[in-house]
Structures are given as C-alpha cells and as structure tokens.
Amino acid sequence: MRSAIGQPISRVDGPAKVRGQARYAGEFQPHGLVHAVLVTSTIVQGRIIAIDDSEALRVPGVMAVISHLNAPRLPWHIPEQRPVVDPKAGEPLHLFQGPEVHFNGQPVALVIAGTLEGATEAAARVQVSYAPANGVTMFDEASARPPHPDTASAGRPGTTSRGDADAALAQAAVRIDATYRQPREHHNAIEPHVTIAAWDGDHLTLYDKTQWVDNDRQEVAHALGISESQIRVISPFVGGAFGSALRTWPHVIAAAIAAREVRRPVRLELTRRQLYSGIGFRPRTEQRIALGADRDGRLQAVVHEATAQTARYEEYAETTVNTTTKAYACRNVRTAYRLADMNINSPCPMRAPGTVTGIFALETAMDELAVALNMDPLELRLRNFADHDQHQQHPWSSNELQACYRAAAEKFGWHRRPQQPGTLRHDGKQVGYGMAMTMYPANREAASASVSVFANGTALIRSAASDMGPGTYTSMTQVAAECLGLPVDKIGFELGDTDLPVAPVHGGSITMASVGNAVMAACRSVESRLIDLARAPGSGPFAGVKLADLVCRDGAVMRASGAVGEAVPYGELLRRCGLSKLDSESHAEPGEEEEQFSSSAFGAVFAEVHVDAGLGTIRVPRLVGAYDIGRVVNPKIARSQCIGGMVGGIGMALLEAAEWDARFGRVMNSNLAEYLVPVCADVGELDVTFVASDDRNFNPLGVKGVAEIAICGVAPAIGNAIYNATGRRLRDLPFTPARLLAG
C-alpha cells in the first residue's frame, strides 16, 4: 500500500468549509440564544466613578447591563502552575470586579439583549464617567526594566552571556552596530473572537474561538471557582488565529457570567475595533544589534539587546533575543531583554512571537556586516554556520540549514545578484536581491489520542487538538492512515472538544510533533488489541498463533511471514468476533532526547524587490524559501503554511503597523481599511522547497513542525533586497514610501 504520509492530499475538511458546513464557534445556535456587546473604556488609567445605564435599559429587548457595580464577585484563582500560554507575572484582567481602568479599550460593561442590533445600540447608550489618572502611553526605552524572575525562568531571561562579547566587539576588525524597530502589530484573523456560553443547571458549555479547548476549560473554571468537570468547551473550526486564541481572554469569562445572569445562552462577539484592545497583539520592540567579525567574516562578537512594551497589569514577554544565542557560531555572545510597562492591553503571541522580531534585527544586521566586509551575504552566513547549539551545548537533532541555503539560492538565481547596490534596473524600477536565514525552535509536548476501529472498516481518531487552519484534520488523518494501513477516506479525525483526550496548545508549531506522535501511539496500541482479538482462543481467526507471528499490515491482521494463511481486514475481524468497534487510547511525550539534543526547524529566504525610486513604492515580485521542517507529512498543506507565512512576512515588511496616539493611548487605525495587510496584488511568485529531512532524534514521526518559521526571515530578506536595490538601509518596520522618501 502506498504510504499516506508524504502525500499532497487536499485538506479533508475542505469540502465542508467550501460548502459552509464547517461550524465555527459563533455559528452554533443553542436554543434561546441572546446577544451581548461590550462597552469599552475611553481613558488609559483611572477609575470608573459612575455608570448610567438608564438609557440603555430603555432600548427594547435589553435584558441586562453588567458591570463591576452588579457583577458577581468571582474567585478568579490563578492556577498554581500557570498555563504555558499565560504570562508568568502580574494577573490577567479581572473583568467587572472593580472600578479600575488600565488601558483605553478595556471592557467596562456588557449589555445583553434579544438581538445583536439591540445590544449594539444599548451599548452605545451606556454612559460611563471616569476619574482619569496619568498613565504611561509613551514607549520609553530608558525606563525599561528586566523581566520578573518568574518570566526569566520561563525562557525569557533579562541577560545571557557566553565569552566576553563587549570586549571582543571592541577588538573586532570589522563592526556594525545599529538599532531596529518593529511597531505594534495585530493578528487580524478574518474570524473575529466570539464565545457562546450556555448553562444547563451548573454545567457550562462554551463554544469558543480557541487554539486550546483544555486551557479554556481550566481558566474559566479557575475564574468562576467551579470544577473543570462542570465545563465543556467546543471549538471544531477556527478561522485563523495566529496566536490570538492561545489564551482565554476576559470576554470568554464575561460571556459565561452573562449567560448565568440572564439564564439564557449568550453570544459575545468582539467587533473589529474591539479586536485591537480585547485580545493581544505583537508588542512594539526596539533592538540594538552589534556584530564584530574578523576580516574573513568570522563572527567574534554578537550583542543583541531588545526592549518590548508590556502591560502594567500583566507581564507578557517574548523570546526575542533567544535565536541570536544559537543562530551562528561565535564564542562571545551577550543578549539583554527588557520590558517597558505601559497602559496598554496585554500583548500576546503572534505568529513566531519574539523569534520573528529577533530574526528581523539579526538578519538585517548580518546583511550590514556583509556590506561592511564587502562579502556576499550568503557566504557570510555559510562561514558562520553553527554545527551545534552553542548556547545549550547540544548537538542538533537534525540540521539541514546548509541544504536550505543551497536549494533556495539555486532556485532563486542568487548568483545573478548585483554586487553593487542600485545597479540593476527593470522597467524603470530599481531591482534588488536579498536573503535571510530563518529558524524556529522545534518543541513537543505530551499529548493523547484515542482510536476506534469499526466493523465497517473505518476508524475514528480523536484528540482535543485544534485546527486554526494549518491542516491538523488532514495531517493527523494521514498519520493514522499510514499507521493503520487504511485508506485516508476510511479515517475520521475529531478535535476541538474537551470531551476528547487531552492535547497541548495548538501553537508554537508543536501540534504535528505532539499530537502526531500521540496518534501514532494510539494506532499502535489499537493494533496490539486487534492482534489480541485475532489470537483469542476460540473466537479469533488466528487462535493459537504465537503473538510474534502476527502483524498488522495494510489494514489487516496477518501472519508475519506473509506466506501462510489469509489476511483478515480489521472490519472483518471485528465482525467475526461479534464486535461493532474496538477502542484504544494512548499518550506520547518527549523523553530524554530533550536533554541530549537541540531541535529546530531551519530555512533560507530569498527576496527580489522592485523599488520605484521616485514614488517610494516597494513591490515584491518573488520570494523563494527552502525549509528543513523534518519529515513532511503533507507537502501541499505544508506549502500552504509556508506561503501563508511569506504573505504575513510581506505584510510585516511593507505594511503592518498599529498607528498609536499616545495622547489617547489608543490604536487609531483599528479596522481593516486602515490597518493594511497584503492583498493578492501584493503577492508575487512564492516558491517553497522542503529539503530532505527526517528527525527521528526529535520524535518517532520525524517531524519538526512548520508554521511560525515561514514568517521568520521574510522581512529582513525584503529589507536587505531594498538595500541592494537602492543603497538605502531601512531599519524600521514597515518599509514604507514615507521612510524611503525621508532622506
């Protein structure tokens, strides 16, 4: 039978999505559903002194206005072991528990009405009076501080150092030292965040947009002070999230409170504008990178200092500088990470959080160093290849970065790159070539999955995982098909429900390596049960045959020798034994390999840009990426992940920025007309190659994960190409006509 893993099959949930049959959280219709709309603050800091809801309550159909004045006091426990998706210091917003306001756009009241229109109108009629106080709305690097110890010990240390980077820098033959800025950016998934909460007695069902149903259940249980067993969270489809649905946001709990108050199922959806303050975002970050090298381009010193904004009530922090500690071979490396507290809503992970930011600065700096050395930027990177992880002092579990460089350079035609900036022209435009290295840590968490094999020859796999778009449904189906030896169309996969076996967060590119191995383990365990069944004295078709003589192959139990006796397909086996189905559940988790190896996905991205020097417009006709993502379960959906990441990278490079008005502490372009993301016309040819790779050191399936890596490296490759086209070095994202024209 043909191997299912590695086949470019189309997504198994595609037909349902195209036909509108895939039900997203906001589309469930529990009986008696009513609507809730948030009222949000207009000051950055201070207290609510009064809420006048009299006009709102007069709007026909309004059932309640909930605020700190009348909301139940909730225990809002913090779990002892904080969920991986939550900041490690400070506390999340406790909605409607007091009059304090921490940022502009904070939910301060909730209006519930029979219709969305009624709730919307009434929300606009709620009058909130404030006693404003001074808040911090300016990003001030000088006042930044190191992370809290609990943040530091969770992989975001304030400083790391090996060797003596500053001394080595001072002595280096060639040096560059520059500052790079990245603005606040927003996920802007097409599906807004929406929660439907329905109580049945003291049992709560939540239909929610989430990348982690188990976390939703845990956090809501802690906030409300009820047991997790009283809560079920359902989230079969997610319409894009990019990290925005990793955490359980305050509005989820607000929906649960509201539904309990009005004794009806409540649907709470954030408006597009509310998505800029009701969930998180990629924090504004400023970075300094200093590189020192000898005349041959060998790195002697690397200094990377980053400062990011964070909320005053809660300390979100990123791994911005971590890549720099292991990206290149260098004896002297120092990193620093600091946080600037502001009156803002808490930032949160957005595709490749921290890493994409750090790589933007590092890979731009490497290009600057190549210029200073008068060396080909690709050659500079090859000379500094890190053949092991010099930070953790571990070998890589696999590393095909050099193959990525070769494959992408070849496909791109890097040898045609003009040596001198500003010398290549096409159609009146300046043409430039640029490249960047990219990497993203490969991680894995414990996960469980169950398998049921049915008498009709089909199988159903289940795990409380999520599919925010990358293709979990499809890739897990392929893993199960391969393991069970059944055709893909005989396999079903269910996810997104807390009633299913526990799965880790659908983030950090870990789903394939975590849930995939659990699915594999579950298939193995059901196979051993099938063999037991086949050997069962009396009823089994292979009664009396030795265990070692039987195998599962091609969807059937058969003799290992293959020669003697017939193969019994699973369905037939169950029928013969009078069973309708056979279940098994299993668990997979990382082991000692975590202590022995460093694991990472790698890649190389090459960009061609065309710059209209007169008008300052920049277009990207071509991106070429080659990636080492371990074993590729489905090249078609893996490619989709990569081109999605590339498009995100084009947005980061050229378009995306929250316009921040510090006087009001508010994002001013909080809608999709003015917050620009790429449209089709901004996307040229996207070429994706996966180099041969299979990382069994990291996990039995050999996969590393692909999602976040694909956005990393794109912005610096584009920026480096702009330099090659124009001789202008842009260090502040996004690279706009305003920046290009400004001297």
Partner 1 sequence: MRPFAYSRAPDVQAAIAHAGAGAEFIAGGTDMLQLLQEDLRSPATLIDINGLSLTGIGTDGDALQIGALTRLSEVAAHPDIRNRFPVVSEALEATASAQVRNMATVGGNLLQRTRCLYFRDATMPCNKRQPGSGCPAQDGCNELNAILGGSADCIAVHPSDLAVALVALDARLVIAGPAGERRIAIADLHRLPGDAPHIETVLDPGELITAVRLPMAMADRKSAYVKVRHRASFEWAIASCAVTLSLSGQTVQDSRIVAGGVATRPWRLPQVEAALAGQRLDAPTIRAAAETAAEGAAPRPGNAWKVPLQQRTVARAISTAAGVP
As given in the structure block, the two tokens for residue 345 are 């809503």
- Cβ(348)–Cβ(362) under 8 Å? no
**Is 379 in the active site?**
no
Q: If DSSP codes are grouped into helix, strand and coil, which group holds residue 5?
A: coil
Cβ nearer to partner 1, comparing 557 with 667: 667
Cβ nearer to partner 1, comparing 316 with 660: 660
Q: Closest distance between partner 1 and the C-beta of residue 275, in Å? A: 14
The one segment of 217-225, 343-351, 463-471, 735-743 that binds partner 1 by CB under 8 A: 735-743
User: Residue 507 gets which letter from DSSP?
Assistant: -
As given in the structure block, the two tokens for residue 136 are 């911090």
Distance, in Å, from the CA atom of 215 to the CA atom of 466, rounded to the nearest integer, reads 12
Q: Closest distance between partner 1 and the C-beta of residue 681, in Å? A: 4
- Interface residue with partner 1 among 454, 669, 694, 729 (CB under 8 A) is 669
Q: Closest distance between partner 1 and the C-beta of residue 615, in Å? A: 5
Using the CB atoms, write b or e for 382-402: b if 16+ within 10 Å: bbbebeebbbeebebbbbbbb
Per rule CB under 8 A, is residue 421 in the interface with partner 1? no
Q: Closest distance between partner 1 and the C-beta of residue 721, in Å? A: 16
As given in the structure block, the two tokens for residue 319 are 């791994």
Q: Are strands 159-162 and 333-342 parallel, antiparallel or unpaired?
A: antiparallel
Give the contact letters, 544-583, x = binds to partner 1 (CB under 8 A), - = no.
Answer: ----------------------------------------
- Interface residue with partner 1 among 666, 704, 728, 731 (CB under 8 A) is 666
Query: Which residue has tokens 């188990």?
Result: 214
Q: Closest distance between partner 1 and the C-beta of residue 392, in Å? A: 41
Distance, in Å, from the CA atom of 474 to the CA atom of 471, rounded to the nearest integer, reads 5
Per rule CB under 8 A, is residue 294 in the interface with partner 1? no
- Residue 700 is which amino acid? P
Per rule CB under 8 A, is residue 177 in the interface with partner 1? no
The one segment of 44-52, 463-471, 623-631, 653-661 that binds partner 1 by CB under 8 A: 653-661
Write out the binding residues for partner 1, residues 588-647 only, by CB under 8 A.
614-617, 619
Per rule CB under 8 A, is residue 427 in the interface with partner 1? no
Give the contact letters, 119-148, x = binds to partner 1 (CB under 8 A), - = no.
Answer: -xx--x------------------------
Give the contact letters, 23-62, x = binds to partner 1 (CB under 8 A), - = no.
Answer: -------------------x--------------------
User: Residue 495 gets which letter from DSSP?
Assistant: -
Per rule CB under 8 A, is residue 379 in the interface with partner 1? no
Per rule CB under 8 A, is residue 190 in the interface with partner 1? no
Q: Closest distance between partner 1 and the C-beta of residue 646, in Å? A: 16
Angle at alpha carbon of residue 653, lines to 651 and 659, rounded to 5°: 70
Among the listed residues 307, 297, 279, the one whose alpha carbon sits nearest the alpha carbon of residue 385:
297
Q: If DSSP codes are grouped into helix, strand and coil, which group holds residue 592?
A: coil
Query: Which residue has tokens 């696999």?
Result: 398
Q: Output phi, psi for 222, to 5 deg.
A: -70, -40
As given in the structure block, the two tokens for residue 57 are 């309550």
- Cβ(257)–Cβ(337) under 8 Å? no
- Interface residue with partner 1 among 73, 203, 273, 425 (CB under 8 A) is 273
- Cβ(658)–Cβ(733) under 8 Å? no
Cis-peptide into 87, omega within 30 deg: no
Give the contact letters, 204-243, x = binds to partner 1 (CB under 8 A), - = no.
Answer: ----------------------------------------
Catalytic annotation, residues: 708
Residues forming the site for partner 1 (CB under 8 A) = 42, 117, 120-121, 124, 273, 614-617, 619, 654-655, 659-661, 663-664, 666, 668-671, 673-674, 676, 678-682, 736-738, 741-742
